[in-house]
Amino acid sequence: MKTLDRYVVRSFVVNMLLCLVVVMSLRIVIDLSFNMDEFVEEGVPLGDRLKTIGFYYACHSLEYYTELGGVAIVLAAAFTLARMNTSNELTAIMASGVSLRRVLLPIVIGSAVMSVLVVIDREIIIPTPGIRAALSRDRDDQAGEEGIRIRLMADGNRSIWWATRMYPGKKEMKHPTVILRGDGRRSDEVDDFVARATRRDREYYRTLYSGLGRISGLKATAGTLDDESGWLFTGDVTRPAVLCTLDRAGRLWRKSPTTCEIWSSLTLDDMVRVKPKSDGSIRIKDRRYGLTIDAADMIARAPTPKHREGIVTLVQPRFTFSTGRGRVLGRFVAKSADLGVDAKSERIFWTLEEGKLFHATDLTVQEMRLRESGRHLDYASSDELMRLVDLERVHDRKGVIQTRHFRMAEPLNNLVLLLIGVPFILSRERNVKESALMCLGISLLFHAFVYASRYFGLPPIWTAWLPVLVFGPVAAMMVDAIKT
């Protein structure tokens, strides 16, 4: 790197930092002036308020950099060349036989590096879970203590989630419901059941049994089971967490499994024939209901007048319900489970102690909060956007693809904008103020065209790359027209 290059790069970097500080400070001041009331809470000390405001805008500065990085690049380049032009440094450089295009080269390289930093910020830093969670919080709820409503949110298994409130700070939901969507199979028995329902409940049952079932409870807490992330549903004696679904034959269950009681098509004789493994654990399968029972130990006790068949207790049991295709619908876990026998059908059931229902999903607390904020696509990386498109988890597929192409084209857009505006500053036929106004005018025209191209009705790839195709040749002619 020559002395001239080091001098130009140093001036450009200093001006770039100054422009970033100015435009981002202006952005923060404007936002704070309109939303100051959301940070102010009665009874909160001034120091805590300032800490909350500082943390909020420190996180959102990453977002502001992606929005204002391109503008700061053009401003820094314009200020660098304008100062060199005003101090007659460009005249001295030309007198020494150096082309003005050679002076422009280190600025173009520096702008490309800054554009790469914008891409890194958007594609790597912002999509990290911690940053996304901080960006999704409201101004008046930085601690995540206030609840938000979960309204019909789909996960990776196409299941639909709903809850009256979700508290990110506590990582729990109130009155959650999950609709397990499947292949839409319904038997004649289900159709008859739906037909007998009241008009008010008919549509509800038709929707419920067109999928795989429903999970509901009084509360759900985020947790893990066997290294799988998901939610643990709980309830009480009167309203336990329940898994409503169909058996393998497509018939309605006689009694849906809950966190208090789980029925099975097995009999007591089936339990007698169970052989424990060498470590004392057992595994029982009920193929009709897609149920697999695992337990660390099975304890059999002698009959009593109250329990003539005896008492059988499972230690640390796990009741796993799955479909014929192997999809796990839910796992009931408990401290212990006591065996009971129905006198009429001789079917057995289990009474759970401290029962919980675990359902695995890719919906985390941060993901739910981010989606409810309406900015989850803005904070996702390009790879995540395309994964969501492949999983059909976005409503506006064309818009998401268009966003991805806009991100790919943005570094080139910044470069084209730089090459269009800078030649006005390098002109020797007009004063600096006139050149600056013309540079500002062409920059506004370029941004207006970029914004308007979204509404031309073109395919996503053409919408994103059209400004480069239109203004790219113009930028080349502008650079070629620089008098050296």
440-469 in b/e form (b: 16+ CB < 10 A) is eebbeebeeebeebeeeeeebeebbbbbbe
Token pair for 366: 């941060």
Token pair for 115: 């554009």
Phi, psi of 221 (to 5 degrees): -120, 135
β pairing state of 282-286 and 219-225: unpaired
Q: Where are the domains of the chain?
A: 3-138+373-480, 148-360
Tell me: the pLDDT tens digits for 165-192?
888 878 899 999 998 876 555 545 445 5
Q: How many whole angstroms separate alpha carbon 467 and alpha carbon 450?
A: 6
pLDDT beneath 70: ranges in the chain: 1, 41-44, 140-146, 182-212, 246-254, 301-310, 324, 345-346, 373-375, 391-394, 428-432, 484
Token pair for 76: 């820094």
pLDDT at 189: 47
Q: How many whole angstroms separate alpha carbon 219 and alpha carbon 164?
A: 10
Residue of 403, 469, 439, 484 lying closest to 71 (CA atoms): 439
Rg, the chain, Cα only: 32
- Classified as helix, coil or strand, 420 is helix
pLDDT at 46: 76
Phi, psi of 134 (to 5 degrees): -70, -40
Q: How many whole angstroms separate alpha carbon 274 and alpha carbon 278?
A: 13
Tell me: the pLDDT tens digits for 246-300?
655 555 566 788 999 988 877 777 777 788 888 878 888 888 778 899 998 888 7
Residue of 222, 221, 261, 214 lying closest to 240 (CA atoms): 261
